[in-house]
Structure 1
């Protein structure tokens, strides 16, 4: 098989595989935060891990967001960068590596 034909065949197989894989996973629908376009959010989101606390990463449809966990699972983790600074809350808070987190079940 000539090189050009082989390259096209490989590209078609890869494209087919990607479509099949995309059909198996669902995208988490989220709204971007008001400051999601902030360059600092890009610095953070490109470093999101593939797994977080044992949960696999899932695709999201909003800029500067991340999601981990099973579809429809009750223990999903959602991260949004660029949110307004929250005021006082009665929700549980945690600090990890100098970053404050609000736990909202």
Structure 2
């Protein structure tokens, strides 16, 4: 004679436990060093608004406050609370109303860093361009980053020359 099934609440708890084990066992948390100002209260709305995925990469748990990551293997790491960049001659791109300073890594040509310009706290995204296009990534992160109000904008050289 087969053993009777456990009562319904026990079966639901068992199913939830198995599901949680499967979901948490898929990909370990990504180890990310927090930014120096990761505890800045301005980071909370932006980090809570981060999308569940960028491109074809799902959001992953990280080990630090004010951070998130996408992809397995990791395609992009987001850190809020980096020091806001000051005036610079670095290339600046405006993507759907968010200004980003974008720099290519000297060590690995497929790694790029994009840092918000004119927002405090600043958000930094380190990404592998062979895994996710900057155009996709920055567009999809834009609405979350906009939770931090812009205080300044990038200027083109001709705009700066026209200033009084």
> Which TM bucket (shorter chain)?
0.7 to 0.9
- After superposition, residues 1-105 of structure 1 pair within 5 angstroms as 5-71=7-73, 76-86=75-85, 88=88, 93-103=92-102, 104=104, 105=111
TM-score, normalized by length of structure 1? Answer: 0.75
Q: Alpha carbons of 1:29 and 1:93: their partners in 2 closer, same or farther (altered >3 Å)?
A: farther
Q: Which moved more, 1:79-88 or 1:26-35?
A: 79-88
More strand by share: 2
RMSD: 2.3
Runs of 4+ in 1 over 6 A off after TM superposition: none
Task: Summarize deviations over 1:18-69 as a string: whole Å, max 9, x none.
Answer: 1122111121110111211122111001111112133221211111111112
Q: Rg: which structure is higher?
A: 2
Task: Determine helix, strand or coil for the equivalent of 1:95.
Answer: strand
Task: Determine helix, strand or coil for the equivalent of 2:77.
Answer: strand
Gaps of 5+ in 2: 105-110, 112-164
TM-score, normalized by length of structure 2? Answer: 0.51
